[in-house]
């Protein structure tokens, strides 16, 4: 699984880092609102309800009022908008304008996720991973991460890579972990760049290649991530 080094101290360092590299680059634990994910899931509506919800949330032209924003987003969510369903789910998750309620957050994320909303699929995966609002279920987390990852979501791709590396909800498979980490890294996701660099460094799921390791470590470092020095025997 790990490259063999002659010096005992180097072997011990790698044994610690094999799990530490993924722990250092753990996926997000907090769900996200409706950011633009390669143009997916962002469906604006020119209605007055959308305008009011946005203005109250941002505090533009009116005093910022999350309760009013949540009221209008909920109306839109009840009308079937997956964008609004994910967003009201996020507001319940964070306690913005509504009481913090992970179970309600899960309800709304699921409605949006079942419509194919990438953000909501990723968010629902996070809830199953952490056991917030739903029973902790790594297999369900993987199911939803896979749906979002298949739509090109870099966060979900890395979360899926993490699941394969740890064997959470799937059979541990370093090749699959490296494959998904590579997809995420190619999109500029810093933690994935570090992890695929580590994979090349020790030959975990990919052929050992120090040049490729250096390449991806540099990519992560240039984005401000502090990678660990790994002694070579």
Task: Check: CB of residue 143 under 8 Å from CB of residue 126.
Answer: no
SS3 content of the chain, % helix, strand, coil (to 5): 60, 0, 35
Q: Which residue has the higher pLDDT, 231 or 106?
A: 106
For residues 98 and 175, state if they share a domain: no
What pLDDT does 33 receive?
A: 75
Number of separate domains in the chain: 2
For residues 147 and 162, state if they share a domain: no
CA torsion 23→25→27→29, rounded to 10°? 70
For residues 95 and 168, state if they share a domain: no
Average pLDDT over residues 52-58: 93
How far is the C-alpha of 193 from the C-alpha of 191, rounded, in Å? 5
* Structural domain contains residue 39: no
For residues 137 and 54, state if they share a domain: yes
- What pLDDT digit, counting tens, does each position of 41-53 carry? 444 444 788 889 9
Q: Of 104, 126, 151, which marks where a domain is finished? A: 151
What pLDDT does 32 receive?
A: 75
Q: Of 120, 151, 182, which marks where a domain is finished? A: 151
How far is the C-alpha of 136 from the C-alpha of 147, rounded, in Å? 18
For residues 187 and 204, state if they share a domain: yes
For residues 93 and 165, state if they share a domain: no
Nearest partner of 134 among 155, 107, 115, judged by Cα: 107
Instruction: List Cβ neighbours of 45 (8 Å cut-off, separation of 6 or more).
Output: 76, 81
Q: Of 136, 151, 166, which marks where a domain is finished? A: 151
For residues 118 and 182, state if they share a domain: no
CATH of the domain at 123: 1.25.40.10
* Structural domain contains residue 33: no
Give the N- to C-terminal CA distance of the chain in Å, as an integer. Answer: 17
How far is the C-alpha of 67 from the C-alpha of 64, rounded, in Å? 9
- What pLDDT digit, counting tens, does each position of 156-169 carry? 999 999 999 999 99
- What pLDDT digit, counting tens, does each position of 169-215 carry? 999 999 999 999 999 999 999 999 999 999 999 999 999 999 999 99
Average pLDDT over residues 18-44: 55
For residues 147 and 158, state if they share a domain: no
Q: How far is CA 75 from the centre of its chain?
A: 28
For residues 106 and 188, state if they share a domain: no
What pLDDT does 7 receive?
A: 30
Nearest partner of 104 among 74, 79, 72, 75, judged by Cα: 74
Q: 167: how many CB neighbours lie within 10 A of its CB?
A: 13
For residues 177 and 213, state if they share a domain: yes
* Structural domain contains residue 35: no
As a whole number of Å, the CA-based R_g of the chain is: 20
Domain extent at residue 130 = 46-151
Handedness of CA 53, 59, 63, 67 (dihedral sign): positive
For residues 55 and 133, state if they share a domain: yes
For residues 159 and 181, state if they share a domain: yes
Which two three-digit tokens encode residue 228? Answer: 């660990």
Cβ burial 121-135 (10 Å sphere, 16+ → b, else e) = bbbbbbbbbeebbbe
């Amino acid at each position: 699984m790990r490259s063999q080094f002659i010096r005992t101290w180097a072997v011990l360092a790698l044994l610690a880092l094999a799990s530490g590299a993924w722990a250092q680059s753990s996926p997000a634990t907090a769900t996200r609102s409706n950011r633009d994910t390669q143009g997916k899931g962002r469906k604006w509506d020119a209605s007055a309800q959308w305008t009011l919800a946005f203005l109250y949330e941002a505090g533009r032209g009116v005093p910022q009022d999350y309760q009013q924003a949540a009221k209008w987003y909920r109306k839109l969510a009840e009308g079937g908008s997956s964008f609004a369903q994910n967003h009201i789910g996020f507001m319940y998750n964070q306690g913005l304008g509504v009481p913090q309620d992970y179970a309600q957050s899960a309800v709304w994320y699921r409605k949006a996720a079942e419509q194919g909303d990438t953000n909501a699929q990723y968010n629902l995966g996070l809830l199953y991973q952490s056991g917030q609002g739903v029973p902790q279920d790594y297999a369900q987390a993987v199911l939803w991460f896979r749906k979002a990852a298949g739509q090109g979501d870099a966060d979900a791709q890395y979360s899926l890579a993490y699941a394969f590396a740890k064997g959470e909800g799937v059979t541990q498979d370093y090749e699959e972990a490296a494959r998904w980490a590579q997809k995420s890294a190619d999109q500029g996701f810093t933690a994935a760049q570090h992890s695929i660099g580590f994979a090349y460094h020790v030959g975990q799921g990919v052929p050992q290649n120090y040049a490729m390791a250096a390449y991806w470590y540099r990519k992560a470092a240039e984005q401000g991530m502090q990678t660990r020095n790994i002694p070579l025997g």
